[in-house]
Structure 1
Amino acid sequence: MNMSMKRIQAIFMKDYREFSRNYAISTMVLVPLFLAFFYGKSGVNMIQMYFLPINITLAMVTAFIQSCLIADEKESNTLRSLMMSPASVADILIGKSALVFSISAVILALTIYLVGYEPANIVLLVLALAVSIVFYIALGTICGLYTKTVMEASVAVMPVIIVFSMGPLALIGLSEKYPVLSAAEWLPSAQLVVLADALEAAAPTKEIIMPFVVMIAWTIVALVVTSVLYKKRMTDD
Structure 2
Amino acid sequence: MTFSFKRMNAIFQKDWKDLYKNSYILFTLAIPLAFAALLGRIGEDDSTMQSMPITLAFVIAGVFVQAAMIAEEKEKNTLRGLLLSPASTTEILIGKSALSLLMTVVVIIGSIILSDFQVENVAWFAILIIINLIFYISMGTILGLLSRTVMETTIIGMPVMLIFGLTPMFVSIIENKAILKLINFLPSERFSAAWSAIASGKGFADIGTHIVILLIWAIASLILTFIIYGKRQFDK
Q: If the TM-score is normalised by the length of the shorter chain, which range does it land in?
A: over 0.9
Q: 2:178 aligns with which of 180, 190, 197?
A: 180
Q: Can you give the 5+ residue segments of structure 1 that lack an aligned partner in the other structure?
A: none
- Preserved contact between residue 62 and residue 140 of structure 1 (Cα < 8 Å): yes
Cross-structure match for 1:215 = 214
Tell me whether 1:3 sits opposite 2:6 in the alignment. Answer: no
Q: CA deviation at 1:181?
A: 2.0
After TM superposition, list the pairs within 5 Å mapping 1:28-47 onto structure 2: 28-47=28-47
Cross-structure match for 1:164 = 164
Letter in 1 for 2:13: M
Cross-structure match for 1:144 = 144
Alignment TM-score, normalising by the size of structure 2: 0.96
Alignment TM-score, normalising by the size of structure 1: 0.96
Cross-structure match for 2:232 = 233
Number of aligned residue pairs = 235
After superposition, the C-alpha distances for 1:86-117 in whole angstroms (9 at most, x for unaligned) are 00000100000001101100110010111111
After TM superposition, list the pairs within 5 Å mapping 1:1-237 onto structure 2: 2-170=2-170, 172-175=171-174, 177-182=175-180, 183-237=182-236
Q: CA deviation at 1:70?
A: 0.6
Q: CA separation in 2, counterparts of 1:37 and 1:198?
A: 23
Q: CA separation in 1, counterparts of 2:54 and 2:209?
A: 20
Q: CA separation in 1, counterparts of 2:45 and 2:228?
A: 41
Name the SS for the 1:134 alignment partner: helix
- Preserved contact between residue 174 and residue 181 of structure 1 (Cα < 8 Å): no
Q: CA separation in 2, counterparts of 1:209 and 1:15?
A: 36
Q: CA deviation at 1:52?
A: 1.2
Q: CA deviation at 1:204?
A: 5.0
Letter in 1 for 2:2: N
Q: CA separation in 1, counterparts of 2:32 and 2:204?
A: 31
Letter in 2 for 1:94: I
Q: CA deviation at 1:2?
A: 2.5
Q: CA separation in 1, counterparts of 2:23 and 2:204?
A: 44
Letter in 2 for 1:224: I
Name the SS for the 1:157 alignment partner: helix
After superposition, the C-alpha distances for 1:123-169 in whole angstroms (9 at most, x for unaligned) are 21012111111111000011111111111112111111121111112
Q: Out of 219-228 and 149-158, give the one that drifted further.
A: 149-158
After superposition, the C-alpha distances for 1:60-86 in whole angstroms (9 at most, x for unaligned) are 121000000010111111111011110
Q: CA separation in 1, counterparts of 2:220 and 2:2?
A: 23
- Mark the CA change 1:204 to 1:8 in structure 2 (over 3 Å): closer, same or farther: closer
Q: CA deviation at 1:210?
A: 0.9
Name the SS for the 2:184 alignment partner: helix
